Amino acid sequence: MATYGYNCPHCREVEVTFPIGTAPAEASCPGCGAASARAFSAPTLVRTRAAVSAHVRRAERSASEPEVVTSLPGRRPSGAVALHPATGRLPRP
């Protein structure tokens, strides 16, 4: 579904959703029911960071081809302590 903009004579600008490529030149306003002419505007394009797009591709791929885990992920050794000032006052085991 795509969102198309229409100019209603009473409600100003309204947005209506239609399947892609099926938007009529005029549509009835969802607010008042008046005939509204279609308004053309630039498409909304967004660039995503490489890490985000890689994560999205991996998630989409795992929907049909889940990754198989053969071992547990690595764990931090028990003696390792996070080097953050806020954790310095916490009791140690």
Helices (H), ranges, the chain: 50-64
* Rounded average pLDDT over 73-82: 62
Integer angstrom CA distances of residue 73 from 21, 54, 59, 76: 47, 20, 19, 10
Look at residue 3 in the predicted model and tell me its pLDDT: 86
Query: Which of the pair, 54 or 66, is modelled with greater confidence?
Result: 54
Query: How far apart, in whole angstroms, are the C-alpha atoms of residue 55 and residue 13?
Result: 36
Beta strand extents in 1-93 (DSSP E only): 2-8, 12-18, 26-28, 35-39
Provide the residue ranges of all domains of the chain, joining segments of one domain with +. Answer: 1-63
pLDDT per position as a tens digit, 9-47: 888 888 888 898 898 999 888 888 899 999 988 777 778
Query: Which of the pair, 55 or 74, is modelled with greater confidence?
Result: 55
